[in-house]
Amino acid sequence: MSDIAAAKPRRSTRPRRRLAALEPLAWIGPAIALIAVVVIWPIVTMIQTSFQNITPLGITIGSAGLSNFTQVFRNPNLPGILIRTVIWVAVTVAITMLLSLGLAQLYNQRFPGRRFARWAIIAPWAASVLMTALIFRWMLQPENGVVNVFLHQLGLVHQFNSNQADWLGRPDSAFIWMIGVAVFVSLPFTTYVLLAGLQAIPGELFEAAKVDGATAWHAYRRITLPLLRPAFLVALVINLMNVFNSFPIIWEMTRGGPGYETSTTTVFMYDLKGTFVGQAAAMAIVNFALVVVIVLVFLRLNRWNRQEAR
């Protein structure tokens, strides 16, 4: 490099080198600008807002110090919301990962019409989550929802329009159904990631294991699971993020109610935005801190998986 530079007339090197340093910016600059406007600036705004005193009408009346945070933390609904958020994320992601392991194994088998069966399971992935949540709300209608019609035929639901048939009216059963919907919409992506992981495992390994007399379960535990680990971990972290940020399911099925009894922190934050933007921002900062932790884990994992792959 220096040889070439020395061979050229000295005058032109400096401006050219300065230009060369700017060249990458011409190519990646627009992307950085877009990220700055849509991601970085909102983070800055959010932090600012969380320390401001803003009336429900949107007028800023000076600094609030830490009062937005203290008010959020003193909110009597918060402990319940936090516990529910942990349950929401942990239970949804755990069930999703377990079911997806089974589904990926199933759809990795050879059977006639596999292509169509695989297309069928992407339906909840392609459709908007909002829409899926609304369909489930309709299917759970106490007076005519198809779930109740079916359970009525089985003799499990005795009467339409009863308290028993009003699945979304009771906080506990509503929450369980919503976790079910969250699992339902998370399965396709997770299954596809695991399926991609399964297909990357060389088949010779299983042949060799068979020759050595390993049972199917043994081969699964000793070969499939360890080799599936990178795919599994990436799917896990992406699911943690998606489920934590999941808003439409709860919003469309119960609006977080009655009261805040089916809210998670995300729904709570959105609800606060309507009246106390400052407190909403404070809640958002708390959420965001958790999100950053998940992102850092993801980035770490990413590097780690790549090093393993080498």
Partner 1 sequence: MAVRTVTTRPLADPRSAAVRARRRLPSLRTAIITAVAYVVAVVFVFPYLEMLITAVRPQRELYATNYLPHHFAWSNLINMWGAAYGITSSVRVSLEIAGGATLLVLLVALPAAYYTSRHRFRGRNGFLLLVLGTQMLQPTALIVGIYKEFLNFGLLNLNPVWSLILVNAGFNLAFAVWILNAYIGSIPAELEEAAMVDGCTRLDALRRITLPLAMPGVVTALIFTFIAAWNEFISALALTTSTSDYPLTVRLDSFIGQYSVDWQHLFGASVVATIPVFILFALIEGRVVGGLTAGSIK
Residue 60: its H or E element:
strand 60-63
Write the interaction track for partner 1 spanning residues 186-215; mark x where CB under 8 A is met and - where it is not: -xxx--xx-xxx--x--xx--x--------
Residue 134 binds partner 1, judged by CB under 8 A: yes
* Pick 103 or 174: Cβ nearer partner 1: 103
* Pick 9 or 112: Cβ nearer partner 1: 112
Dihedral (CA of 217, 218, 219, 221) sign: positive
**How far from the centroid of its chain's Cα atoms is residue 186's Cα?**
8
DSSP per-residue letters across 238-307: HHHHHHHT--HHHHHHTTT-STTTT--HHHHHHHHHTT-HHHHHHHHHHHHHHHHHHHHHHHHHHHHHHH
Is 272:284 a contact under the CB 8 Å cutoff? no
Q: Which residue type is seen at 30?
A: P
Write the interaction track for partner 1 spanning residues 168-187; mark x where CB under 8 A is met and - where it is not: ----------------x--x
Q: How far is the CB of 243 from partner 1 (least distance, A)?
A: 11
Q: Which of 152, 173, 261, 286 binds partner 1 (CB under 8 A)?
A: 152
Listed residue (31, 66, 33, 39) closest to 52, CA to CA: 66
Contact set for partner 1, span 22-61 (CB under 8 A): 23-24, 26-28, 30-32, 34-35, 37-39, 41-46, 49, 58
Write the interaction track for partner 1 spanning residues 87-126; mark x where CB under 8 A is met and - where it is not: ----------------x--xx-xxxxxx-xxxxxxxxxxx
Is 174:262 a contact under the CB 8 Å cutoff? yes
* Pick 38 or 154: Cβ nearer partner 1: 38
Contact set for partner 1, span 261-300 (CB under 8 A): 266, 269-270, 273, 277, 280-281, 284, 287-288, 291, 294-295, 298-299
Is 221:262 a contact under the CB 8 Å cutoff? no
Q: How far is the CB of 117 from partner 1 (least distance, A)?
A: 4
